[in-house]
Copies of this chain bind each other. A is one copy, B any other.
Amino acid sequence: KVIWTLLVTILGYASSLPVGDDSICTTEELAKYSIIFTGKWSQTAFPKQYPLYRPPAQWSSMLGVTHSSDYSMWKKNEYASNGVRDFAEKGEAWVLMKEIEEAGEKIQSVHGIFSASAIPSGTGQTSTELEVHPRHPLVSFVVRIVPSPDWFVGIDSLNLCEGGHWMEEVSVDLFPYDAGTDSGFTFSSPNFATIPQDTVTEITCSSPSHPANSFYYPKLKILPPIAQVTMVKLKKTQLGLSAPFINPPAKSNEVIDSV
């Protein structure tokens, strides 16, 4: 726990590059949000190969960051960083935390890190708080799908600033992504590195187009959302905070994954 806290002694306020014309919340200062993650990975909604034991369907802890457009945690159709690969494959946050730390130090593109505890079943909720800054209004996070080869859900650079003001509330459905680093096809596939690495791709009911794929439901038009995330602005911003809001991640409790 101490180590996490040490790792996260970063994250400057100033940034030289604006995020975009209207996306700088000029008229307001820091804003705090409650972020609620809801797992919707039920056997009813996703009957195919639904993991019932060793381990049963569950979610890793959430690792997230508030940042400017100079930083990107992950992006659809681009290569995953080593940190995202480790997190998506094993739920290990070390390398990803270091990447975020470096982005915060070198290009001051990061405002703060947040994390929420794991959910020990496919459905259920976890929540935490995050803080955004006028020049760091974007939110990104990842949550690993457990068990899976390298699958995750997440948000990439959602802008909480709208027309110069902080959004009141935003809720987004989440769908599974493949980090492109492990060639496993099903929730319980053995580890099998993808060489060369592929890009991050969305897993849909028809892609990868192979009946063995755990999310292959040829009769569906789109998958039901496997999770949902809601961010709600907290009414009272603690303007007294002198340091960026930092919420050290809980120790990974994904031990059950390696049983």
Assembly CA distance A214 to B8 (angstroms): 46
Measuring CB to CB, which residues of chain A are less than 8 angstroms from any residue of chain B? 22, 27-28, 75-76, 155-156, 158, 162-173, 175, 202, 204, 222, 225, 228, 230
Contact of A172 among B28, B165, B230 (CB under 8 A): B165
User: Chain B nearest CB: distance from A44 CB in Å?
Assistant: 16
CA distance A175 to B163 in the complex (A): 9
A164 — nearest CB in chain B belongs to which residue?
B202
CB-based nearest B residue for A78: B21
Task: Tell me how far the C-beta of A219 lies from the nearest C-beta in chain B, rounded to whole angstroms.
Answer: 16
Residue of B nearest to A228 (CB): B168
Measured CA separation A124–B131 after assembly (Å)? 31
The smallest C-beta distance from A59 to any residue of chain B, in angstroms, reads 18
| Contact among B155, B166, B168, B202 with A27 in the assembled complex (CB-CB below 8 Å) | B202
- With A171-B168, A175-B165, A222-B27 as known contacts, state yes or no: A156 contacts B202, CB within 8 Å: no
Stoichiometry, as copies per complex, reads 2
B156, B158, B162, B222: the one within 8 Å of A28 (CB): B222
Apart from A168-B230, A169-B230, 4 more pairs, CB < 8 Å = A22-B75, A22-B76, A167-B170, A167-B171
Interchain CA distance A172-B156 in the complex, whole Å: 20
Chain B nearest Cβ from A121, distance in angstroms: 22
Give the residues in chain B near A175, CB-CB below 8 Å.
27, 163-165
The residues of B that contact A27 with a CB separation of less than 8 Å are 175, 202, 204, 222
**The residue from B22, B28, B173 contacting A165, defined by CB atoms under 8 A apart:** B173
A202, B28: Cα distance in complex, Å: 13
**How far, in Å, is A50 (CB) from chain B's closest CB?**
22
List chain B residues, Cβ under 8 A from A165: 172-173, 175, 225
Query: A75 to nearest B CB, angstroms?
Result: 8
Per the bound structure, the CA–CA distance linking A168 and B228 in Å amounts to 9
Residue of B nearest to A159 (CB): B159
Max chain B Cβ within 10 angstroms of own Cβ: one of A22, A163, A166, A167: A163
